[in-house]
Amino acid sequence: MEEPSDSPHHEHQFVEYLEDVECLRRKIKFYFMNPCEKYHARGRKPWKLMLQIIKIAIITIQLVSFGLSNQMVVLFTEENLSTFKNLFLKDYDGDMDSYAVYRQADVYDHIDYILVQYGDLHSLTVGNQEYDKNYPMSVCQEFYKNSTISPGNETFDIDIHVINVNASALSSRMLSVKITFVLKAINLQTVRYREMPDCYDFTIIITFDNQVHSGRIKVDLESDVEINECRDLKVTGASARNIHPTVLFDCLVIITCIASFALCTRSVINGIQLQFVSSSNLYFICKVLELKHCGCQVPWSDRLEFLNGWYILIMVTDILNIIGSILKIEIQTKVLTNYDVCSIFLGTGTMFVWIGIIRYMGYFRKYNILILTMRAGFPNVIRFICCAGIIYMSYCFCGWIVLGPYHEKFRTLNMVSECLFSLINGDDMFATFLEMKQKSLLVWLFSRIYLYTFISLFIYMILNLFITIIADTYYTVKRQSGKPRSELQRFISLCKDLPNSGMYRCEENKGFFLNDCITR
């Protein structure tokens, strides 16, 4: 015979169900507590918080140290480049954009000038530049293999294969003349900061560019830098600082980031496991909340709340800083000489580290509104940017093809985008209108309609719509502040146990078997 529904056995089983539900609720509430509340709840020390504070300090110190070192390298490299231009370019006036030659005699004179200046380098320079005996100067000319050009008869016969030979007599087939040589120099300014000086190998390439064949040969000077450790050095009057303390500090940063990555990974895994536990026991959540749609699946918005985006950001930050620190060590040991890649990793990693501070500011109610506004408004902002971006690109393509031949700022698609973005921010408006050439009245009138409509549309309409979206989201979040925004938060809000009540300590090692209770 079946046991009555109100038998003591069923009452006892129902009490166990409720205890398991309360246990699950406390478990979820504990997961979403801030570090201080977790300390009061279970006495768990906020290791991640303390580690993040330490990491912010040492990563910032590392970035400042690297920035100062990089600043000295950039200063020395740029000043040497300026020196080379003034030494080897005839009649150089500081403007490479307009530096060009127009006659064959001028080409020969400029090449002879470079050769003479190179030979008299010791008596000319006031720096410590020196020849590299392993790489003598080379003069190379590139020209078409064969060509017969007759503009008067409007005919030409050309073989587009390019031949590289030592410089000889110039002809209409010439594409370019390249003069290449290597100079060595020592950066002595690092000695003042108790650092080991570096040796620089400057590969200088002077190019006479005749690709366009317009009668104007552009002249350009470029310099590639390779940094090496000096073979034999002696510093009198001061002891140069060794690189080992800096390398050890970088190793400390790597170890700290690895520890931070491990702790955040553990928290993410715990959140995913807790998400599966709460999702598999939706029946009890629905039962306690008395939901009409009991039995449906947990919405993805509730599931994603267990996946803490801040932990993901910290993990990405740790990876960037680990890679950047390894590259920095290789630069200091002269294995690498490219500062750009290392700067990108360290700069981006430090930026994300400081952005991560917002997570802890969110524990204060007034600051939390800002974070909630950014989170709630993000989907609407993305949709708005997609729509505005389509209009923006349409203006970019139109301006490039129509105004490009008549306006300096519309010559390339990249320049058009930069010009229009500056107009949105109110920069350079009058100059953009003024620089439009009036060679074609039709295009000039079109440019006025184009610029007036773009400025009016984006500044007075689209930007105001963007501000309205953010303001509307802010007031919505502020109005709903303190109220549960999802079923998961409603479930957690029913737990009235305070962090210091002691109820969370007894649940620390207790598992959840609500699914087992259902099958019993």
User: Tokens in use for 174?
Assistant: 């010439």
- C-alpha 30/C-alpha 13 separation (Å) is 26
According to the model, what pLDDT value does residue 292 have? 46
CB 486, CB 302: distance < 8 Å: yes
* Helices 8-31 and 244-280, axial angle in degrees (round to 10): 150
Helix (H) or strand (E) holding 222: strand 217-229
Closest to 419 (Cα-Cα) out of 431, 410, 449, 437? 410
According to the model, what pLDDT value does residue 497 have? 67
pTM: 0.74
Helix (H) or strand (E) holding 396: helix 365-403
Cα four-point dihedral sign 302, 304, 306, 309: negative
pLDDT along the chain (520 residues), means of 10: 50 58 73 71 76 91 88 88 92 85 90 92 87 88 78 73 72 84 85 68 92 88 84 61 74 94 88 74 52 54 74 92 92 78 92 85 72 83 92 94 90 92 87 83 91 92 90 83 64 68 58 42
CB 185, CB 80: distance < 8 Å: yes
According to the model, what pLDDT value does residue 519 have? 36
Contacts of 477 (CB under 8 A, 6+ apart): 369, 372, 373, 376
CB 20, CB 507: distance < 8 Å: no
User: Tokens in use for 87?
Assistant: 């030494």
Question: Which residue type is seen at 72?
Answer: M
- DSSP letter string over 433-463? HHT---S-HHHHHHHHHHHHHHHHHIIIIIH
CA distances from 440 to 213, 270, 396, 443, 452 (A): 27, 68, 20, 5, 18
CB 153, CB 125: distance < 8 Å: no
Contacts of 448 (CB under 8 A, 6+ apart): 433
